[in-house]
A and B are shown apart, each in its own frame.
Chain A
């Protein structure tokens, strides 16, 4: 799976959890969690479950941190790294 496919699938999953109706892709700096984030901790849990199912990766407790889940860009990089190591 290439980077664009990962980005597109991640985009669809985030939109589903966020319940966003927009069709355009979420911007790279779209903040997921934190001060300006759109997701709460339970939504992140839902997203993690969806990511594991979609990409066949395993997300540990420690993986859920700002470097990986802050915004769309960091999340896409995180998934790519996880896939390359699995």
Chain B
């Protein structure tokens, strides 16, 4: 049961202030997003309409800590079909941004490895200018699956390396200072 005292009516405004989340209030819960969703097709408990409805109602903590948030495949089918132009894929991105900040502040716990991968990926881009596939994937596997799990991917990594598809060292660019300045500007 939803108790109105537990709701945070400001949550929808918080999301709409986040880049990508601007249109959340336009949602009238028609379910068009969910009907076409490829993830819903294989897991009936995944329901983008429900995420939006809960967010608009103000079920802040539940939305932010629900694993569902990390199951969007970013396929843009709902974004394309939404009659209200809610831009759902980007709204999910905006909610993820809030969830990551809350997790960083120790207020919630995220139960999915995707945010870790995203951060390792983006950190490697900030550092090198390009994504460091071997380093990021290796670190991610070690952190999420342990040494045994990571070793399971070693044969595939070796196959890729043999074909000249995986570089052991990172590729870098000359304009790393420009990347740094861009990050500083957008993070202000």
Q: Are chains A and B native binding partners rather than an unrelated pairing?
A: no
Chain B residues with a Cβ under 8 A of chain A: none
Chain A residues with a Cβ under 8 A of chain B: none
